[in-house]
Amino acid sequence: MLTELQKRRTFGIISHPDAGKTTLTEKLLLFGGAIQIAGAVKSNKIKKSATSDFMEIERQRGISVATSVMAFDYRDLKINILDTPGHEDFAEDTYRTLTAVDSAIVVIDVAKGVETQTEKLVNVCRMRNTPIIVFINKLDREGKDAFDLLDEVEKKLNIRVTPLSWPIGMGQRFKGVYSLYEKKLVLFRPHGKQEEEDLIEITDITGDSLDKNVGKADADTLREELEIVQTVYPEFNREQYLSGEVSPVFFGSAVNNFGVRELLDCFVEIAPEPLPRSAEERIVNPEEEQFSGFVFKIHANMDPNHRDRIAFLRICSGKFQRNTNYLHVRQGRKMKFSNPTSFMAAKKTVIDEAYPGDVIGLYDSGNFKIGDSLTEGEALHFKGIPSFSPELFRFVNNTDPLKSKQLAKGLEQLMDEGVAQLFTRELDGRRIIGTVGNLQFDVIQYRLQHEYGASVSYEPLFIHKACWITSSDETAMKELINRRRKDIARDKHGQLVFLAESAWALKIAQENHPKVDFHFTSEF
Ligand code: G4P
C-alpha cells in the first residue's frame, strides 16, 4: 500500500485558452507511452470555431469524459493528469477539479504573458497552497523579455518564482535553454527533433564550450543574464515549492516538444506524493488503512435515453476495492460498485482496486452530489470543495406551470452536477441562476427541456457578486436582512447570501454592517 501510494503523482495543467495546455498534455502522454500518435488528445478538444454553438460544446464535453483523467507510467511512477476544461464557460468545473490535485503546472504564452483565466485558476490553487510549476511556452515565437515576464508572473499571480531553466534568444533567434537544475545546455531543433547530442553538459558556463555551441554574443548574454538570475531569485528550495511559496519556472516550446522532457524529469523529482486532505472532522492521511474519497465532478450523459452519470471520485486514503460495501456518508447507506472505471487516455477500463491519488469513475443514477464522500464507515466530510461567486445572474421563470415538478427536479439535479448555482430570493421566493459563462444559461435551458420536459425563460438581473454571509451577532444579521431584503437570498443548502449589485454596494454594506462577515466562497 505504501509503495503504491508513493508512486502516485496527481496534478492538473492550467492555462488561459490557447496557451498550449492540450499540446503539453499530449507531449507528456507521448513520453509516458500512454498514446502513440500526436493529435489524439487534441481531437477531443472543444473546437474554437464552435464556441458559440453550445450543443457542439456539450457533444465535445461528452467525448472529453475519456480525457477527464489521463494516467501514464513514467520512471516507475504512476502519473495522473486531471483535465481542467480550458473553456471559460466551464470554469466552475475547473475550479473543482483543482481540489482533487496535489500540484499544478501553469502554462503561460511567452507573447501574451499572464492572462485572466490563468490568474483566476492560480488564485484557486493558492487557497490550498497547491505547489505550482510554471512552464513558459512558445519560445519559438517572439514574446516578452524573460525578466519582464517573470516580474509579471510574480505580480499578477502573487507568487515568488525561481527559474530552473533560462532561454537563449527567442523566436527566430531561439537557440535553446540552459537548465540550471541539471546544469545542461539543451539546443533547440524545431519540430520535436531533439536528440541526445543536443543535450550538452556544461557545468562551468564561463568555459569555451558555451561559446562553441551558441556563439560568443549569445554566450555572453546568457552569462550576464544568469548572473542577474542568481542575484535576484532565490535558490530553488523544494520545501518552499511544496508549501506553495515559490514556483520553479521552465521555458520551452510544447509544439516542438522542446523543454518538455526537462519539465517532466524535474516534475517527477520534486512534485508531491498524494497529500493529506482536510475533513471537517479531522485531517485524513493517505497512509491510513481505511478507504475514503470524495466526489469532485459529475458528468451527465447528454443522451436522454441514458440517464446515467459518471461521478469522479478522488481517493484520499486506504485502498478502494471493487464490489465492496462503502458508506455514502450524506445518504447514510452502504453502496457497492461493480464497474468502477479508471482512465488511460481515451481508454476506459474496469478496475479492481485503486489507491490514494487515483481518480475513479463511478456509474451513478443520481445518488451523488459534488462534495459527497465515501468511506468504510466513518462520517467524514471533506473540505475544500467550495462554491465561488458566479459572475452572471438571471431570474429563471417557469413557462409551463404544469411542469413545475419536473422543473424543480431538473434544477436540483443540474445544480448537484455543479452546472450552475441556484439561489432563492428571500423577499419573494424567486429563483436566480448564477453561472460563470453565458453559454451555461443555454445549456441549462436546453437540458431542462430535453431531459426533464420543463421549459424556462430568463430575465436579466445585474449582480456583481454573491457573498455568503455569517455573523456571531444575531441582531446585526437581522438588521442587514431587514434593511437589504431584496438583496438577500439562500443558496441550495439554505445558507444566507448577499447579492451585491456593484462593488460599491458591497463596500457600503460591509461598512454599514461591520459585525457581519462577507465571504467570497461558500466555505469559511
Ligand atoms: P490550449 O489547450 O491551452 O487551448 O492550447 P493548445 O494546446 O490547443 O494550443 C493552442 C495553439 O498554440 C495551437 O495552435 C498549438 O499548435 C499552438 N502551440 C502550442 N505550443 C506551441 C509552441 O510551443 N509554439 C507555437 N508556435 N505554437 C504552439 P492552433 O493553430 O490553434 O492549432 P493547431 O492547428 O496547430 O493544432
Nearest CA to ligand 1 atom 22: 138
> Each residue's pLDDT tens digit in the chain (524 positions)?
778 899 999 999 999 888 999 889 888 888 877 665 555 565 555 444 444 455 655 555 555 555 678 888 898 899 999 887 766 666 677 788 899 999 999 999 999 999 988 998 898 898 889 999 999 999 999 999 999 999 999 999 999 999 999 999 999 999 999 988 888 888 887 766 656 556 777 777 888 888 888 889 999 999 999 999 999 999 999 999 999 999 999 999 999 888 898 899 999 999 999 999 999 999 999 999 999 999 998 887 655 566 678 899 999 999 999 999 999 999 999 999 998 887 654 566 788 999 999 999 898 888 898 889 999 999 999 987 777 888 899 999 999 989 999 999 999 888 888 888 999 999 999 999 998 878 889 888 988 998 889 999 999 999 999 999 999 999 999 999 999 999 999 998 899 999 999 999 999 999 999 999 999 887 76
Report the atom number in ligand 1 closest to the C-alpha of 17. 4
Last residue of a domain, one of 350, 375, 400: 375
Q: Which residues have a Cβ under 8 Å from the Cβ of 136 and sit 6 or more positions away?
A: 108, 110, 146, 149, 249, 250, 251, 252
- Same domain for 320 and 435, yes or no, is no
CATH at 193? 3.40.50.300
**For a pocket test of ligand 1, which of 18, 21, 64, 262 has the largest count of ligand atoms closer than 8 A to its C-beta?**
18
Q: What is the pLDDT of residue 49?
A: 44
- Same domain for 179 and 286, yes or no, is no
Residue 140 CB less than 6 A away from ligand 1: yes
- Same domain for 348 and 323, yes or no, is yes
Three-class HEC string of 272-297: CCCCCEEECCCEECCCCCCCEEEEEE
- CA of residue 77 relative to chain centroid, distance: 22
CB 343, CB 66: distance < 8 Å: yes
Ligand 1 centre to CA of 18 (Å) is: 6
Residue 397 domain-assigned (yes or no): yes
- Same domain for 260 and 281, yes or no, is no
- Same domain for 294 and 154, yes or no, is no
CB 266, CB 28: distance < 8 Å: no
- Say which residue the cell 515559490 belongs to: 246
Ligand 1 centre to CA of 120 (Å) is: 21
Ligand 1 centre to CA of 47 (Å) is: 12
CB 425, CB 488: distance < 8 Å: yes
Q: What is the pLDDT of residue 377?
A: 94
Q: Specify whether the backbone of 129 is left (phi greater than 0), alpha (psi in -120 to 50) or beta.
A: left
Ligand 1 centre to CA of 111 (Å) is: 13
- Same domain for 295 and 214, yes or no, is no
Amino acid at 174: F
Structural domain span for residue 319: 277-375
What gap in Å lies between CA 234 and CA 200, rounded to an integer?
A: 25
Ligand 1 centre to CA of 485 (Å) is: 49
Q: At what angle do helices 439-452 and 404-417 cross, to 10 degrees?
A: 130
Ligand 1 centre to CA of 107 (Å) is: 12
- Same domain for 111 and 248, yes or no, is yes
Residue 82 domain-assigned (yes or no): no
**For a pocket test of ligand 1, which of 23, 26, 48 has the largest count of ligand atoms closer than 8 A to its C-beta?**
23
Q: Is 111 exposed, middle or buried (0-12, 13-18, 19+ CB in 10 A)?
A: middle
Ligand 1 centre to CA of 260 (Å) is: 14
Report the atom number in ligand 1 closest to the C-alpha of 258. 23
Cα three-residue angle 146-149-150, rounded to 5 degrees = 90
- Same domain for 243 and 262, yes or no, is yes
Residue 73 domain-assigned (yes or no): no
Ligand 1 centre to CA of 253 (Å) is: 10
Residue 217 domain-assigned (yes or no): yes
Ligand 1 centre to CA of 23 (Å) is: 6
What gap in Å lies between CA 486 and CA 310, rounded to an integer?
A: 38
Nearest CA to ligand 1 atom 9: 20
Residue 47 domain-assigned (yes or no): yes
- Same domain for 303 and 242, yes or no, is no
CB 250, CB 136: distance < 8 Å: yes
Q: What is the pLDDT of residue 203?
A: 75
Last residue of a domain, one of 311, 345, 375: 375
Ligand 1 centre to CA of 38 (Å) is: 13
- Same domain for 14 and 131, yes or no, is yes
Q: Which residues have a Cβ under 8 Å from the Cβ of 132 and sit 6 or more positions away?
A: 103, 104, 105, 106, 122, 125, 159, 244, 247
Q: What is the pLDDT of residue 117?
A: 86
Residue 19 CB less than 6 A away from ligand 1: yes
Last residue of a domain, one of 270, 300, 318: 270
Nearest CA to ligand 1 atom 31: 18
Residue 385 domain-assigned (yes or no): no
Q: Is 117 helix (H, G, I), strand (E, B) or coil?
A: helix
Report the atom number in ligand 1 closest to the C-alpha of 16. 3
Nearest CA to ligand 1 atom 4: 18
Residue 41 domain-assigned (yes or no): yes
Residue 435 CB less than 6 A away from ligand 1: no
What gap in Å lies between CA 456 and CA 370, rounded to an integer?
A: 24
- Same domain for 258 and 161, yes or no, is yes
Ligand 1 centre to CA of 388 (Å) is: 30
Q: Is 311 exposed, middle or buried (0-12, 13-18, 19+ CB in 10 A)?
A: buried
CATH at 480? 3.30.70.3280
Ligand 1 centre to CA of 19 (Å) is: 7
Report the atom number in ligand 1 closest to the C-alpha of 26. 7
Residue 254 CB less than 6 A away from ligand 1: yes
Q: What is the pLDDT of residue 306?
A: 64
Report the atom number in ligand 1 closest to the C-alpha of 19. 3
Residue 41 CB less than 6 A away from ligand 1: no
Please state the φ and ψ torsions of residue 13, each to the nearest 5 degrees.
-105, 125
- Give me the number of domains the chain comprises: 3
Q: What cell was used for 28?
A: 507528456
Residue 81 domain-assigned (yes or no): no
- Same domain for 106 and 171, yes or no, is yes
